[in-house]
Amino acid sequence: MSKREILVPERQKQPRKQIAATSQMKKLMASHFLEIDEAQRTGQKKVAWCTSVGPAELLHAMGFLVYFPENHGALLGATRMATDLIPLANAVGYSPDICSYLTADVGAYLGGVTPLTKAYGIQKVPKADVLVYNTNQCRDVQDWFSFYAREWNVPIVGIHTHRNIQEVNDYHITDLVAQIKGMIPTLELVSGIKFDIDKLREVVDLSLQCTSLWKQVLQCGAAIPAPLTFFDATIHMGPAVVLRGKPEAVDYYKTLLAELNDRIEKKEGAVPLERHRLYWDGMPVWGKLRELSDQFYGMQTNVVASTYCNSWIFDAFDPTHPLESMARAYTELFIVRDESYKEWYMDQWIKTFGIDGVIFHDAKTCPNNSNNRYSMPQRMAVRLGLPTLVIHGDLNDLRCYSEEQTRTNIEAFVEQLDQKPA
Ligand code: SF4
């Protein structure tokens, strides 16, 4: 019998308790896609594509239905369709080294398939009437949307955010507000609806409520034992990504938060007999969420916090200054900041959450969300005295991921934690 089998008590082999709010979340996500599909077929409303941390509030305020292709990219990964579709995009010149959301999504378009068909009976992704990006996360989103702008001959507009910044300064905000305002005439032309600042205030207020609740959901992970895992959060963040600015997202997170608080009160951990608490930096491996989640569960180890799920915390939203606060919220993001800020930020979460070790996912096709490449794990190990592990993989392209190697590395890492004095 191996050391691992000795450490795993009988209770750990029991089936896990599911989060009850999941069924409500699934219904919400289904109605999001079905509403856009219906509107597209009937021509009732215009559809804007938006990047995941793009100016969704402005688009809602101007009457668009808002579709997020990164969410589609993640679905392609989670359903494991991505790896077979990426070569179709490679064949038309999109490199296997660039964002595998982009290549999987373009591959799916070229192949005429979508996971929305099996999930919701939707035959194809909605055609955009306008494409709206923000380069705060990476340049790939601009190139990705440009593919569709050429394909459909529709307008594309975007915001070019300053990158690798330590502090967000007033000159950043002034510039970004001007860029947001610069998009409005095109959006008015496409939607046929005049920009109304009061409508924007209402949407920003709803986004603020949504993001505040989402932050509280993630902060539940600080409880010992934690009532949710990183893997749960990657699923439950769906409404914060695609429905922020809408009342149903606010209602949903109230329900989820109540359930998690109840679990905290009853000391019901998502991982029973939780022994170790980890931080995950970088993208999820969408096609291997279940396997990774099961492995940690079996080792009584919970991944309780992550930078990825925190990407939809926008503290700066302020309905009294909607444009300025949107500019600030979408610039204060972790991914926009320099290494010194990122390290400071992670240190806060690591200390608050009682973290024992940090896993860095080096995602081959997303350098923007891979923070191990400039010696951060080594500096962190010295600064915080914490063990760190780098796993090599990808968000979507499973050809870049060795399941066996990762499994062995995680096992060895947890054994290292076992040997640390309490
Ligand atoms: S941040 Fe990474 S995963 Fe997201 S769109 Fe950009 S390259 Fe792709």
Q: What would the pLDDT profile of 33-49 be if each residue is shown by its tens digit?
A: 999 999 988 988 999 99
Is 263 a residue whose pLDDT tops 60?
Answer: yes
Provide mean pLDDT across the span 103-129.
Answer: 98
- Residue, of 383 and 4, whose pLDDT is higher: 383
Provide mean pLDDT across the span 162-188.
Answer: 97
- Ligand 1, atom 6, residue with closest C-alpha: 138
Residue of 369, 394, 395 with the most ligand 1 atoms within 8 Å of its CB, for mutation: 369
Is 4 a residue whose pLDDT tops 80?
Answer: no
Ligand 1 closest atom vs CA 335: 1
Is 9 a residue whose pLDDT tops 60?
Answer: no
Ligand 1 closest atom vs CA 365: 7
Residue of 100, 138, 396 with the most ligand 1 atoms within 8 Å of its CB, for mutation: 138
pLDDT at 12: 59
Average pLDDT for the chain = 95
Is 10 a residue whose pLDDT tops 80?
Answer: no
- Ligand 1, atom 2, residue with closest C-alpha: 366
Is 133 a residue whose pLDDT tops 70?
Answer: yes
Band of residue 262 on the pLDDT scale cut at 50, 70, 90:
very high
- What is the 367 CA–ligand 1 centroid distance (Å)? 8
- What is the 123 CA–ligand 1 centroid distance (Å)? 25
Band of residue 365 on the pLDDT scale cut at 50, 70, 90:
very high
Ligand 1 closest atom vs CA 137: 1
- What is the 52 CA–ligand 1 centroid distance (Å)? 10
Is 13 a residue whose pLDDT tops 80?
Answer: no
Residue of 68, 94, 141, 285 with the most ligand 1 atoms within 8 Å of its CB, for mutation: 141
Provide mean pLDDT across the span 90-96.
Answer: 98
pLDDT at 14: 66
pLDDT at 422: 62
- What is the 351 CA–ligand 1 centroid distance (Å)? 28
Residue of 146, 368, 396 with the most ligand 1 atoms within 8 Å of its CB, for mutation: 368
- What is the 368 CA–ligand 1 centroid distance (Å)? 7
- What is the 347 CA–ligand 1 centroid distance (Å)? 24
Residue of 98, 102, 361 with the most ligand 1 atoms within 8 Å of its CB, for mutation: 102
> CB within 6 Å of ligand 1 — which residues?
70, 99, 101, 137-138, 140-141, 366, 368-369, 395
pLDDT at 15: 78
Provide mean pLDDT across the span 292-299.
Answer: 97
Alpha carbon separation from 338 to 3, 86, 333, 360 (Å, rounded): 41, 31, 11, 17
Is 387 a residue whose pLDDT tops 70?
Answer: yes
Q: What is the pTM of this model?
A: 0.95
> Over the stretch 217-260, which tens digit does the pLDDT of each residue have?
999 999 999 999 999 999 999 999 999 999 999 999 999 999 99
- What is the 141 CA–ligand 1 centroid distance (Å)? 7
The structure tokens listed for 286 are 């969408």
